[in-house]
Amino acid sequence: MNFSTVVSKAFQTDILIIGSGSAGATAAIAAAQGKYKVILVERYGFPGGTSTQMLDTFYGFFTPGETPRKIVGGIPDRIVNALNATGDMFLRPNTYGAGTGVNYNPEKLKLVWDQQLIKSGVALYYHSTLVGVEQIGETSTCVFFHKGIGFFTITAKRVIDASGDADYCHWAGIPYEKAGEKEPAQSMTTTFRMSNVEHKEYEAAGGKKMLREKMAEAYEKGTHPLPRKEGSAHEMCQPKCISTVAVKVTDLDPLDVEGITKAEIEGRKQSFIFEDFFRAEIPGYQNAKIIGLSHQIGVRETRRVYGNYRLTKKDCMTAKTFDDQIFLCGAPIEDHRKGSNGYSETYWQYVPKGGTYGVPYGTIVPKESSNTWVVGRCFSATHDAHASCRSMAQTMSMGQAAGTAAVLSLDSDLDAQNIAVKRLQDSLIQLGAIVQMPDKIANISRNGWTNN
């Protein structure tokens, strides 16, 4: 299609970020330092992506195990501090699993992202979807669709693809692996929230352990047609509310119009099967009801771009360090597999001894590009490594690194491939980022955020 005949408006910017998820929103805040014009474009009417569309817990700030370390800092801390200031977060201590979670009020987080972005000077364009890219030399012209003004363009010197699906890379012809091509793609999940839950009754009846046993029993006996034997149902910031990650949808392609439509329908159907199960079987839930389904079905992986470096399972499981590492990850591989019977459970594998691995700069620089970074769940990693490095503290860290790198690239008039990574690491440390494993053991308690 020749977009030039239908384009209604044309904008210019220094740095363009596509997608306002945890990665993109953090990238935009990092890039907006008053020197350069920064535009952040988002297809929905609110920021946060997965963080606000469906979830309520940041994992990855703390390593799992008996000696947890806080391994992420900088702009991600500012987000949690803002939530903490109004009592909209608490720590959900957890020794194993993915480690201690930072639980937050997702509706408040929308406001916090808005406010932090505006305060930083980012120009926000919501309800606008990237539908095409034209690359001329070091400049990219991106075509967006907004239902009010039709097609419009933004021409940018530097681009950060934070769309989760690597849409920019796709339209720009940058190579990627599509999830499902080599290993089975991770399953999709519609999350749902229930109100009027009596937590004390639930805990007195055995809490998490009891829930797991009842789910397994219902699944084995077929009393409720549950899609899986386990799942998370946890307390939220809002009183008497719980949030669940339990639905499991497989064998459908979220990048295909028919696939994603079927997935949305199946996810909603399963959510209400779970509602019946909770009300009938779980003490404390007798009078509970679903009060909200996720804004869309949760998609764990789609496209993973080929970068200058590809993070591997071996890197994660040998706690590898790199000279050019830009952040740390200590989260286990958490692979929501389909399994041979269609419904086997999640596969976990931990970084040995509660350690961390470093994530190198090359994982956010696409191989065949000079003015582009790719962050968040479409960064450069194999299926297994991605299954470890996709928690939101890590996607925020990628964004923080890419936004800072884009500024450095303009400052030094060097492209993404050639910037001085040592200078990037110094700038990140100045922002408060953590790039080396700290010695200090984190002080974890429900209200313990400020102790770290």
SS (H, E, C) the chain: CCHHHCEEEEEEEEEEEECCEHHHHHHHHHHCCCCCCEEEECCCCCCECHHHHCCCEECCCECCCCCCCECCCCHHHHHHHHHHHCCCEEEECCCCCCCCEEEECHHHHHHHHHHHHHHHCCEEECCCEEEEEEEECCEEEEEEEECCCEEEEEEEEEEEECCCCCHHHHHHCCCEEECCCCCCCCCEECCEEEECCCHHHHHHCCHHHHHHHHHHHHHHHCCCCCCCCCCEEEECCCCCCEEEECCCECCCCCCCHHHHHHHHHHHHHHHHHHHHHHHHHCCCCCCCEEEEECCCCECCCCEEECECCCECHHHHHCCCCCCCEEEEECCCEEECCCCCCCCCCCEEECCHHHCCEEEEHHHHCECCCCCEEECCCCCCECHHHHHHCCCHHHHHHHHHHHHHHHHHHHHHCCCCCCCCHHHHHHHHHHHCCCCCCCCCCCCCCCCCHHHC
Nearer to ligand FAD, 155 or 426 (CB): 155
Query: Is residue 298 part of the contact set for ligand FAD (CB under 6 A)?
Result: yes
Per CB under 6 A, which region of 51-59, 211-219, 341-349, 404-412 contacts ligand FAD? 51-59
Query: Is residue 153 part of the contact set for ligand FAD (CB under 6 A)?
Result: no
- Residues contacting ligand FAD: total by CB under 6 A: 38
Binding mask 359-378 for ligand FAD (x = CB under 6 A): -----------------xx-
Nearer to ligand FAD, 13 or 22 (CB): 22
State which of residues 13, 15, 20, 403 lies at the interface with ligand FAD (CB under 6 A). 20
State which of residues 77, 88, 167, 235 lies at the interface with ligand FAD (CB under 6 A). 167
State which of residues 15, 16, 32, 42 lies at the interface with ligand FAD (CB under 6 A). 42
Query: Is residue 108 part of the contact set for ligand FAD (CB under 6 A)?
Result: no
Query: Is residue 130 part of the contact set for ligand FAD (CB under 6 A)?
Result: yes
Query: Is residue 142 part of the contact set for ligand FAD (CB under 6 A)?
Result: no
CA distance 215 to 207: 12
Q: How far is the CA of 260 from the CAs of 5, 156, 225, 248, in angstroms?
A: 31, 31, 22, 14
State which of residues 58, 113, 274, 373 lies at the interface with ligand FAD (CB under 6 A). 58
State which of residues 391, 397, 400, 452 lies at the interface with ligand FAD (CB under 6 A). 391
Query: Is residue 49 part of the contact set for ligand FAD (CB under 6 A)?
Result: yes
Query: Is residue 392 part of the contact set for ligand FAD (CB under 6 A)?
Result: yes
Query: Is residue 390 part of the contact set for ligand FAD (CB under 6 A)?
Result: yes
Query: Is residue 395 part of the contact set for ligand FAD (CB under 6 A)?
Result: yes
Nearer to ligand FAD, 252 or 299 (CB): 299
CB of 17 to ligand FAD, least distance (A): 9
Query: Is residue 145 part of the contact set for ligand FAD (CB under 6 A)?
Result: no
Q: Which of 329, 22, 298 is nearest to 186 (CA)?
A: 298
Query: Is residue 400 part of the contact set for ligand FAD (CB under 6 A)?
Result: no
The footprint of ligand FAD on residues 227-286 (CB under 6 A) is 245
Query: Is residue 152 part of the contact set for ligand FAD (CB under 6 A)?
Result: no
Nearer to ligand FAD, 129 or 222 (CB): 129
State which of residues 16, 30, 43, 82 lies at the interface with ligand FAD (CB under 6 A). 43
Q: Give every CB contact of residue 431 below 8 A, 6+ residues apart in sequence.
A: 30, 74, 75, 400, 404
Per CB under 6 A, which region of 79-87, 109-117, 156-164, 338-346 contacts ligand FAD? 156-164
Query: Is residue 383 part of the contact set for ligand FAD (CB under 6 A)?
Result: no
CB of 48 to ligand FAD, least distance (A): 7
Binding site for ligand FAD (CB under 6 A): 18-24, 41-44, 49-51, 55, 57-60, 129-130, 162-165, 167, 189, 191, 245, 298-300, 376-377, 390-392, 395
